[in-house]
Homo-oligomer: A and B are copies of this chain.
């Protein structure tokens, strides 16, 4: 399969695929004329790479994890990398969840204002990081 088709099916740009090769994340055969030739499996591989990128992993971190997919051989270092990244992602989810909850709180206040602008509490400490009190 050629690069354009892989890009289309994996939902990434052609440039991204060339970049992934440059980073050692995908390997492509070459036709006699120099065009990249990908196996079918490349599509799933690229999708997985995208998943990890979306989770905040760097090219380097992905490159260190990818060999496990092929060999399924888990060295202690490999296990360590996997669990480390899992921990990082958990932390990231926590941070996002905190931000989400704070925004939700603000959205609730906004809704209260839209329902009755005149009666809104004048000095709620909106920046404080306490959790909202139990609503009855």
Contacts and interface: CB of A to CB of B under 8 A. Distances in A.
Contact of A124 (B72, B74, B82, B127): B72
Contact of A100 (B76, B90, B100): B90
Contact of A86 (B83, B93, B100): B100
Contact of A74 (B89, B109, B128): B109
A52 interface: yes
Contact of A121 (B73, B95, B121): B73
A69 B51 CA distance: 35
Contacts of A47: 127, 129
Interface of A: 41, 44-45, 47-48, 51-52, 54-57, 65, 68-69, 71-74, 76, 78-79, 82-83, 85-86, 89-90, 92-93, 95-100, 102-104, 106-107, 109-111, 113-114, 117, 120-121, 124, 126-129, 131
